[in-house]
Amino acid sequence: MDRLELLKKIQALAENGIGGEKFNAQQKLSELMEKYHIRDEDLETEVIKSFDFRVGNKMEKELLGQIAYSVYGDKNEKKGYYSYIHIKNKMCVECTDAEFLEIEAKFSFYKHELKKQIDRFYHAFIQANEIFPNPELCKSKDERFFLSEEDMKVLRMARGIEKSEFLKQIEG
pLDDT tens-place string over residues 106-129: 999 999 999 999 999 998 888 888
Q: Look at residue 20 and tell me if it is in a domain.
A: yes
Q: Look at residue 14 and tell me if it is in a domain.
A: yes
Q: Look at residue 95 and tell me if it is in a domain.
A: no
Residues ≥6 apart with Cβ < 8 Å to 61: 55, 86, 91
pLDDT band at residue 141 under the 50/70/90 scheme = low
Question: 31 lies in which domain range?
Answer: 1-45
Q: E strands within the chain?
A: 49-54, 84-87, 90-95
The predicted model scores a pTM of 0.61
**Three-state secondary-structure class, residue 116:** helix
Q: Look at residue 5 and tell me if it is in a domain.
A: yes
Q: Look at residue 109 and tell me if it is in a domain.
A: no
Q: Look at residue 122 and tell me if it is in a domain.
A: no
The predicted model gives 130-139 an average pLDDT of 75
Q: Look at residue 132 and tell me if it is in a domain.
A: no
Q: Look at residue 28 and tell me if it is in a domain.
A: yes
Residues ≥6 apart with Cβ < 8 Å to 159: 128
What is the pLDDT of the chain when averaged over all its residues?
A: 79
Can you tell me the distance from the alpha carbon of 106 to that of 139, in angstroms, rounded to the nearest whole number?
A: 46
How many domains, the chain?
Answer: 1
Contact 101, 12 (CB under 8 A): yes
Contact 100, 53 (CB under 8 A): no
